[in-house]
Amino acid sequence: MRKANPKDLEQLAKLLDGRGGSQDKIAEAFTRAASLGVTAKLGPLRPIQTWTGETAPDLRKRAGIMRAEDGDPTGGFLWAGFSAEDAALLALNPQLAILAGAASLADDGKFDWVKRQKGETYTDWQNRMKSDAVAKITGDKNMGEVVADYYDLVEFISTAPTALFKGGKALWDLKKYWGPDGKALKAPGTFLAQMLRGQGSTFTHGMARYGGRVGRMMPPPLLNFLAGNNAYAALHGGKLWAWEANLLKVAGPAARLQGAMGGGGFSRFAAGAGATLKTAGWIRGAGVVGSVVATGVGAFELYQKGNPVEAFKKDKVGYAKDVSGVLFNASLTAAMIAPNPWTIGAVAVTGLVYGGLAIWDNWDKVKQWPGKVADAAGKAGEVISKGAGKLADGAKNLVSKYNPFD
C-alpha cells in the first residue's frame, strides 16, 4: 500500500534543489570557502552536493508516477521531466497525457523515449511524441520521420514565406519613403483596414476599389472601429490615415487636452488610452496583440532550450533561426505600434534573415520528404497491419498488468 504523498515528495525536492535550498546553500558555502582559502575543509560535503542534484529529480519522478496512478493528467509529464507549469499546459492534450501517463506507470525502461531530452521545448517534445509513437507502433522508423518532417514543414510553410514577404515589403516601403514622393510609412498588418478605406498601392488598385465600396456601405462608427479613426490620428503630426500614426504619440495630446479641461490623472490616462485604441482600430490592435503573443511564445521556447551557447553548438542554424524569429516578431510588434524608418528597417532585416535561415534549416527536409512519403506509402499496408497486432498485444499486456481481477 502506498503511504507517500506526491506533494510531500515535490516539496522535499524543492527544499533540496529549489531557490535557497540545500544545493544553493552548499554551493554558497563552497564559494565562501574558496574566498577564504579553506575549500579542502568542506571536502566531505561534495558527496552531499552530488546527492542533492540526483535525489531531487528522482523524487519528482516518483511524485509524477504517484500522480499518474491517481489519474492526474500532469503526472506523466512530471515523470517525463517537465516543470509543473509546463505539465499543466501539456495536460490540455488528452492524447499526450494518456501516452505520458501510461509510460510512467509501465516503468520498465521501454518508454524512456517519452522522457524529455535536454534542451527540448514542450512544442518540440509534442511533435517528437507524435512521430516517435508512429515509428514505435508501426515498427518503421521512416514513417516516424515522415510525421516529424511534416510538422517541421508545416511550420516552415506558415512562417518563412510570411517573413520573406514582410521583410521584402518593408524594404519597398523604405524605398518609397526615402524616394522623391516621400510616401508615409504604414503599420504592417493594416492591409484590410486600407482596403476598407479604398486605399492601396497600384498593385492592389482593384481590391482597394472593391474594399472601398464595402467600407462605404458600413456605418461610420463600425468602419472607424475596424480600420481606425483618422480624426484621432490627426492629433499627432497631421496624419491623414490611422495606419500611419505612431500610437505611442497619439495618447499624449489627448491626455493633455483632457487635462486642460480640468480632468484628473485617471481621466487623462483614460483619454490617452482611448485615443490610442480608437486610432489603432480592431484590425491593427488584433495584429499587435498577436505579434506580442508570438514574440512571447518564441522567447519562452528559446528559454526552454537552456544555455544559449550549448543550444547553439547543438544546432547552429536551427537556434539562429529561432533567435531571428523572436527578433522578427519583436520588430514587427514595434512597427505595428510605431511605423518609422527604424522599426520598418528592423522588420526588413529580421524578416529576410529569419526567412533565409528557415529555408536553410529545412532545405534537406524539403528535398527528401517526397521520397520518404513514397517509401512510407509503399510499405503502409504491411507495416500498419503488423503495428496493429503489436498495439493490440501491448494493450492486452497493459490491461493484464493493472487489472486487479486478472
d(CA 93, CA 86): 12
pLDDT in tens, 36-86: 777 777 777 777 777 777 787 778 777 777 877 777 778 877 877 777 777
Summarize pLDDT for 143-167 with one digit per residue, the tens: 677 777 777 787 888 888 899 999 9
Residue 162: CB atoms within 10 A of its CB come to 15
Grid coordinates representing 358? 528557415
pLDDT of the residue at 366: 78
Domain boundaries, the chain: 1-116, 154-366
Q: What would the grid cell of residue 244 be? A: 500611419
pLDDT of residue 341: 93
Q: What is the pLDDT of residue 1?
A: 43
User: Which three three-digit cell numbers place residue 29?
Assistant: 558555502
Give the chain's residues under pLDDT 50: 1, 387, 391, 395-396, 398-399, 401-406
pLDDT value at position 402?
45
Burial class (CB in 10 A: 0-12, 13-18, 19+), 300: middle
User: What pLDDT was estimated at residue 184?
Assistant: 85
Distance CA(249)–CA(268), nearest Å, equals 14
At residue 234, the pLDDT reads: 75
